[in-house]
Amino acid sequence: MENKTTFFLIDEQALFRDCVRDLLEEEKNLVWVGGAENGVEAINKVEACQPDLVLMELSLSKLNGFSVIN
């Protein structure tokens, strides 16, 4: 069985999230599990899907990236 790494993208710009997702999904061992556009949404979704890797913009609305990390 192949070991895959799940990733989650957090950025306010949907186009940026889509482009990064498409680029990363070209790697056979990476699987996209979701995305969010602000800090509050990110906390809820990341807790629900428990990804291996989170890529996040730090200057998010509603709750900035540093607060999300804490």
Q: Tokens 């949404």 sit at which residue?
A: 41
Digit-coded pLDDT (tens) for 23-36: 999 999 999 999 99
Integer CA distances (angstroms), 18 to 3, 9, 69, in order: 24, 9, 22
Domain limits, the chain: 11-69
Fold for 11-69, please state it.
Rossmann fold (3.40.50)
The three-class DSSP label of residue 45 is helix
Write down the pLDDT at residue 52. Answer: 97
Write down the pLDDT at residue 18. Answer: 96
Sequential DSSP letters for 8-38: EEE-S-HHHHHHHHHHHTTSTTEEEEEEESS
For the cut 60, the answer to whether the pLDDT of residue 1 exceeds it is no
Task: Say how far apart CA 45 and CA 27 lie, in whole Å.
Answer: 23
